[in-house]
Amino acid sequence: MRIPPGARVYLTTAISLAAVGLATWLGMEAGAAVGYRPWWTGGAVAASVTAAGVPAYEQIRKERLRPALSRPRWTRPWRCR
């Protein structure tokens, strides 16, 4: 499924911000927990990894597309006429 570039920017930004907020909240809950609650810590780590992974995935995707887009138009296999 292809997502338009403009919508992709908003989608990845929203996912990253939600993950950062969730990681912050879960981290605060883990720190304030009276007993040991491994799911608070695990949830905070998972949300933090998600928050870091989404922008990294987008950067890798752009770097993979860059060589194909730098070639002249007539040499791109998907644009053959």
**50: domain range?**
23-79
Alpha-carbon span 44 to 46, nearest angstrom: 6
In a domain, 15, yes or no: no
In a domain, 36, yes or no: yes
Stated pTM of the model: 0.67
In a domain, 53, yes or no: yes
In a domain, 62, yes or no: yes
In a domain, 7, yes or no: no
**For 1-41, what is each residue's pLDDT tens digit?**
788 877 888 888 898 999 999 999 998 888 887 777 888 88
pLDDT of residue 75: 60
Q: Which residue has the tokens 């990845």?
A: 12
Q: What is the DSSP string of 24-42?
A: HHHHHHHHH-SS--HHHHH
Number of domains in the chain: 1
DSSP single-letter state for residue 77 = G
**For 47-71, what is each residue's pLDDT tens digit?**
999 888 888 888 888 888 787 777 6
Q: How many helices (H) and strands (E) does the chain have?
A: 2, 0
